[in-house]
Structure 1
Amino acid sequence: MKKIVFVMLVLFAATTISAQTRKMNIQKSVITWTGKKVTGEHVGTITIKEGALIFKNGKVVGGSFVADMTTLNNIDQSGKDKLKLEGHLKSSDFFNVEAFNTSLLVFKSIAEKEKNHYAVTADLTIKGITNPVKFDLMTKENSAVAKLTVDRTKYGIQYGSGSFFDDLGDRTIYDNFELNVDLKF
């Protein structure tokens, strides 16, 4: 019995030791968002506050990221228009950054599709509301990329949504927005 317990402890220790947490280089990692409306789109960035991918035997087995919502930035406009849009996105109409200054993504399950290409299911928390999201993650040496499509209405963001308001016409903002995540570690 002692031998079995000892062997199990050695196997557990070997398994634990082989996992490697690789922290994000937050100065080089970035999230680029795209929000679309009937008359066009806007693009911007959000800074990653902290994050890491967990590897085991060279494969991704976990990960989590915290986005600093106070850094929400619009990059397709300048001057007053840029400031106006950023202020509106940070307001309670959208992300309510004063009350919810971070968003969180936590990996829940990962399936390898092919070498360095994974199907990920994660919990995404925005404005204190958590919903599952699915996306593909591709890794390469010291980097990883992913593209997520998020339905903002699942997080209580209904402003300008044609799903909730009639007669918006060309002021309709689409429910889905895209996040292109470029991670460096």
Structure 2
Amino acid sequence: MRNSIKKGLGIALISLFTLSFTTSKRETKQINTSKSKIEWKAYKVTGSHNGTVTVKSGYLNFDDNQLSGGSITIDMTTINTTDLSGKAKKGLDGHLKSPDFFGVEKHQTSALNFTKVKSTGSNAYEVTANLTIKGITKKVNFLISINGTKATASLKVDRTKFGIKYGSSSFFDNLKDKAIYDEFDLVAELELN
């Protein structure tokens, strides 16, 4: 009986000692929304348009200085076209905010919630996340790199998976040069606090 108690106590002490040196450091870094930006680029048969949208809030999680998760909320009311000016810019901004596209009156935010993070090299990661646009959530994959307090990510989004079918030749015939491609690009440059 005495030996059993000694063994049990010894195992408990070894476990406690081991845990004290292997505790992982968890940290959440907030995204500085005023210093971060997201750029978009959409394509059509006759060219492309590009612009910006604002990060409303967000954070990235780290375990032992390795990215482990995160969440980003985007303010869809800030959709802004940067390659046009005047009446053309106002017209496209308004159309992108309309129910034909992002319907920002009902859907003021979109969200990206990380579900899986895999390291692919020094400061580089492959992320699986749930992207929610217009209340519809779909799985997306993208790459992100982190260098100090800066994170850069890029992803392609198929708008038709979120019910945005306007001008899509996948759903409408005879669009000819009025067709808008289904995928658009997002590039995020995030500053972490």
TM-score (normalised: structure 2): 0.89
Letter in 2 for 1:101: Q
**Aligned match of 2:95:** 88
Kept in 1, the 8 Å contact 2:24–2:64? The answer is no
Q: Deviations over 1:25-70 (max 9, x none)?
A: 1001011000000001000100000011111111000000000000
What's the counterpart of residue 113 of structure 2?
106
Q: How does 1:25-174 map to 2 (within 5 A)?
A: 25-174=32-181
User: Percent of pairs identical after alignment?
Assistant: 48
Deviation (angstroms), 1:5: 8.8
Find out whether 1:19 has 2:14 as its counterpart.
Answer: no
Shift of 1:2: 9.4
Instruction: Give the 3-state SS of the residue equivalent to 2:96 in structure 1.
Output: helix
Query: Which runs of 5 or more residues in structure 1 are unaligned?
Result: none
Q: Per the alignment, do residues 53 and 165 of structure 1 end up closer, same or farther by CA in structure 2, a change over 3 Å counting?
A: same
Q: Which amino acid aligns with 2:186?
A: L
- Whether contact under 8 Å (2:150, 2:191) holds in the other structure is yes
* CA shift in 2, pair 1:131/1:10, >3 Å: farther
Distance 1:72 1:15 in 2: 46
When the two chains are superposed, the root-mean-square deviation of aligned CA atoms in Å is 2.2
Aligned residues between the structures? 185
Q: Distance in 2 between matches of 1:15 and 1:46?
A: 41
Q: CA deviation at 1:115?
A: 1.2
Whichever of the two has the greater Rg, that structure is 2
Structure 2, unpaired ranges of 5+: 1-7
C-alpha separation in 1, matches of 2:145 and 2:27: 17
